Structure 1
């Protein structure tokens, strides 16, 4: 007799079903066996039977839903659930609602849940996905943890899958940077949007002079807010490299922040580009004194200046 009433009702909703116990390939008793919750152990034993017989039914969907609520990281269960949904022509919109609930309560940092979400969204008819709602849901997830890798990774996938949201995404990520200029994840997403998506990521981006000046102006404004912020300086470096512009392009701006370690690192490259070797050595000496943890590194960098 199954003690859990919900699980009992799920199993009873279809035809006769016998559990299949786990078989461990041990010749001796395990030193430290996993102490599964009894309801979880029971549910998995019935799922083994279903998977073995190839049952794809409402009962299979309900049972997999029951199991992933207990263990959202069980990738085999997610795979079987997706297979069942596809074979049955299930309601993918309803599945998104299920995933919303799980992400909010159990799985905001769960690889399997977000990968399953990708699979569901990829199969939705283009006009069936409420894109503004999907982006707002992701914003809500980031409000809980602004640097949640899984959400940012899924967000990149979504932008590639649905290019029509890219312009809106630039505005949304601008708001993220404004809320926390130190959020390296938001800076990374902005770089992704401007280079990997809109311009193909092929290294042949053609930017107008106006676009270049606008983006350089934006990142300089953000640096001015927090001159010691490595995230915005790294974005500036990446921007100049991808546009094939010398670091000296913003020399007059960077030179004002001589109290900032990231600015000093930036100016070191500026001096090296211009073959200003004595100035480069001087910057290395300053960095040796002020960036004590990396003192040996700056000594090494100084030794390369010839």
Structure 2
């Protein structure tokens, strides 16, 4: 591979390496065999638990071992421990998986074990503060996932997990705080599709609960997304969010304003397939939903414009030539 420095071994060094690799494989197979045997025999001892730790450090994708570890915790540790001890054990597993995620940030099994641990946190530490341990763990979890997103702002595993954490916290974080967080992530990188997606989820919640005005928000969001479009008109994330924001039922005034804005951008960036695709999409919506308010002559102009854009797209994005051709046939057959 380009950019990867090749290591040349002498014959003796290569043989030594092969011996080490063979020994590691034998050790791994022996450890696997012992764990499976203990699991089959219903061994839920501390020794068995320590063996799962050893294995998961080597192979954190081993689902059977994760499940065995959970069983040991439930059938041994939890039954014989105080709530304080249970919280300590679970905190230990959370710390362990934090270390794993630094090396393996996209392994489902690690994220799933964290979820399980958080859901087992007992109430306490006192009757007066039953959410004390829970809240402390969930706050720490939000901190951990934010650190993960600082390292890789587009890690969709971390974004999915963040949504889970926010939904599960005993005291919910405000939607406005989360909206501000996505703003920071988007302004740092307009190509962050996961941040745009999270933003759409937050706004939907705000609108459905009546905490925000959709019309006002959309105007503010359109300003944000236009800035992103002009910054990088070739980035797919921005255009997908824009299409979600406009929706299928926008009124003619909004559609015409966006068509005008995108046309201005296309004039500056004549090879932007996303400008062309979006213009075709929004002009179709205009024809389909608002044909009554535009004259017959204007409807034909819009239709012809769509067909011209699709012809250009067949050259600019030739891999999807047939798709654009099929769409042109449907538009040509539209009854306007």
Instruction: Tell me if TM exceeds 0.5.
Output: yes
Residue number among 206, 219, 225 corresponding to 1:219 in the alignment: 225
Do residues 101 (structure 1) and 99 (structure 2) align? yes
Q: Deviations over 1:243-290 (max 9, x none)?
A: x42571623322211123212111112222233211211222222232
Q: Which runs of 5+ in 1 are unaligned?
A: 1-33
Deviation at 1:41, TM superposition (A): 2.2
In the superposition, relative to structure 1, how do residues 232 and 35 fare at CA in structure 2: closer, same or farther (>3 Å)? farther
Q: How does 1:131-280 map to 2 (within 5 A)?
A: 131-162=138-169, 164-165=172-173, 167=175, 168-195=177-204, 198=206, 207-241=213-247, 244-245=249-250, 248=255, 250-258=258-266, 259=269, 260-275=272-287, 276-280=302-306
Query: Scaled by the length of structure 1, what TM-score is found?
Result: 0.77
Distance 1:170 1:274, change over 3 A: closer
* Structure 2 spans left out of the alignment, 5+ residues: 1-21, 79-85, 124-130, 288-301
- Identify if the C-alpha distance between structure 1 residues 35 and 301 changes in structure 2 by more than 3 Å, giving closer, same or farther: farther
1:76-128: CA deviation from partner (whole Å, max 9, x where unpaired): 110111122233223211211111111113x3221111111111122225542
Measured in 1, the distance between the counterparts of 2:208 and 2:37 equals 47
Alpha carbons of structure 1 residues 58 and 200: separation in structure 2 relative to 1, 3 Å? farther
The counterpart of 2:324, out of the listed 298, 302, 306, is 298
**Partners of 2:206 and 2:152 in 1: CA distance:** 27
- TM-score w.r.t. length of structure 2: 0.70
Is the counterpart of residue 112 in structure 1 residue 109 in structure 2? yes
1:193 and 1:60 mapped to 2: Cα distance? 44
Cα deviations across residues 137-158 of structure 1 (Å, max 9, x unaligned)?
Answer: 2233234333333222322322
Deviations along 1:198-226, one digit per CA (max 9) or x if unpaired, are: 5679xx99844222222222222222222
Conservation of the 8 A alpha-carbon contact between 1:159 and 1:166: no
Q: Distance in 2 between matches of 1:139 and 1:133?
A: 10
Aligned-residue CA RMSD (Å): 2.9
Higher helix fraction (1 or 2)? 2
Distance (whole Å) between structure 2 residues aligned to residue 271 and residue 111 of structure 1? 42
**In 1, are the aligned partners of 2:142 and 2:165 still within 8 Å (CA)?**
no
SS in 2 for 1:274: helix
- Residue aligned with 1:37, SS: helix
- Deviation string 1:12-52 (CA, Å, 9 cap, x unpaired) is xxxxxxxxxxxxxxxxxxxxxx9972222222233233323
Deviation at 1:64, TM superposition (A): 0.8
CA 1:214–1:67: 2 relative to 1, 3 Å: same
Deviation at 1:300, TM superposition (A): 2.2
Q: Structure 1 53/149 Cα, relative in aligned 2: closer, same or farther at 3 Å?
A: same
- Matched-pair contact (CA < 8 Å) for 1:131–1:165: no
Q: Does 1:92 align with 2:105?
A: no
